[in-house]
Amino acid sequence: MSDVKRVPLMLMDEKGSKYLIIPTQEMSEIKGIGVVDSERLMKEPFGSKIEISGKVYMILEASLLDILANIKRGPQWIMAKDSAQILVGCGIGPGSKVLEIGTGSGALTIVLAYYVGPEGKVVTYEYNEKNARLASRNLDQAGLTHIVEINVGEAADCNSVGEFDTVVMDVPQPWDLLDISCKALKPSGHFCAYVPTMNQVEQTIRALRESGFIETRAVENLQREIVVGKGGTRPSFEMLGHTGYITVGRKMGR
């Protein structure tokens, strides 16, 4: 069945509302639409239109932003504007092996898995079992469970040595896990901590430097949409301001 798509699909109605479709070979019940034939949808070309229960929908390939917009949220999650900076700043791409500490609801986990692809691997630790279950469901919805290994427990349980290209963490005191991170990283591997306050940035950077990490720095991303209207173009009155600081460093030696 090589002619059948196996990527998440998006149905968009004439008003612009979107509905995520998970690739299956079964009938699926989609909230807001009803029961749909997933197999039929996967055989249709992207950009084509289909009628379901008297309404017309366009079939689109779901983007990563579409997937993230449809996950179930739990604890505070890392937004796309910051996830993108983490990917670029840490050189994460196809085939990368990433250790994540603090899975939360799995938003960053999904982004990491999406970019490392089937040749890569994401190993993530979450001490809160409820959060881990939520992340597992979100990863399943995104079709990325085969790339991610979720561990319910403390990061201290990780005994990997020189296995990972990048360690990313979203925890209150990342400096306490620096020994584990250093051991798990390959030489020249990247460390990244996502923290909300400058005090945490300062303590993390100092700990990194004391541990021999180089290229230590912290950045903050601010994002503002540009509104294009008939009478003119202007910045939006609303913006995505402070969400967190991306604090990074690079391991040297073994």
| In contact, 9 and 21? CB cutoff 8 Å | yes
Q: Does residue 2 form part of some domain? A: no
- The number of folded domains in the chain is 2
Indicate which CATH number applies to the domain containing 35.
3.10.330.20
Please give the Cα distance from 19 to 22 (Å, whole number): 10
Is 52 among the domain residues? yes
In this structure, the answer to whether residues 35 and 109 fall within a common structural domain is: no
Residue 106 lies in a domain: yes
223 belongs to a structural domain: yes
The alpha helices in the chain, defined as continuous H runs, are 38-43, 64-69, 80-89, 107-116, 129-142, 178-184, 198-210
The one-letter amino acid code at 184 reads A
What is the pLDDT at residue 12? 92
Q: CA dist 1 to 42, 186, 253, Å?
A: 11, 40, 48
- Tell whether 111 and 25 lie within a shared domain: no
Give the tokens for residue 93: 């791409």
Residue 84 placed within a domain: yes
Encoded tokens for 29: 């019940």
Q: What range does the domain containing 197 cover?
A: 70-250
For residue 136, the number of C-alpha atoms closer than 13 Å in the C-beta half-sphere is 12
Same domain, 175 and 76: yes
Q: Print pLDDT tens along the chain (254 aa).
A: 344 445 788 899 989 888 888 766 567 777 778 778 777 888 888 999 988 888 899 999 899 999 998 888 877 789 899 999 999 999 999 999 999 999 999 999 999 999 999 999 999 999 999 999 999 999 988 889 999 999 999 888 888 888 999 999 999 999 999 999 999 999 999 999 999 999 999 999 999 999 999 999 999 999 889 999 888 999 998 887 888 999 999 998 76
The values of phi and psi at residue 173, to 5°, are: -130, 75
Angle between helices 107-116 and 129-142 (to 10 degrees): 40
Specify whether 104 is located in the same domain as 185.
yes
Amino acid identity for residue 12 in this structure: M
Per-residue pLDDT at 24 = 67
**Cβ atoms 33, 41 nearer than 8 A:** no
Same domain flag for 51 and 86: no
Residues 46 and 134 in one domain: no
Closest of 118, 99, 11 to residue 61, by C-alpha = 11
pLDDT for position 238: 85
What's the half-sphere exposure (Cβ side, CA atoms, 13 Å) at 132? 16
User: Is 141 a domain residue?
Assistant: yes
Domain with residue 75: its CATH number is: 3.40.50.150
Predicted local distance difference test score (pLDDT) of residue 6: 56
Residues 143, 83, single domain; the answer is yes
Token code pair at residue 128: 């809160």
For residue 3, tell me if it sits in a domain.
Answer: no
Residue 58 sits in the same domain as residue 74: no
Q: Helix (H, G, I), strand (E, B), or coil: what is residue 252?
A: coil
Instruction: Say yes or no: 77 and 197 in one domain.
Output: yes
What are the DSSP E strand ranges found in the chain? 9-13, 18-21, 27-30, 34-37, 49-52, 55-61, 97-101, 121-126, 148-152, 164-169, 185-195, 214-219, 226-229, 232-235, 245-250
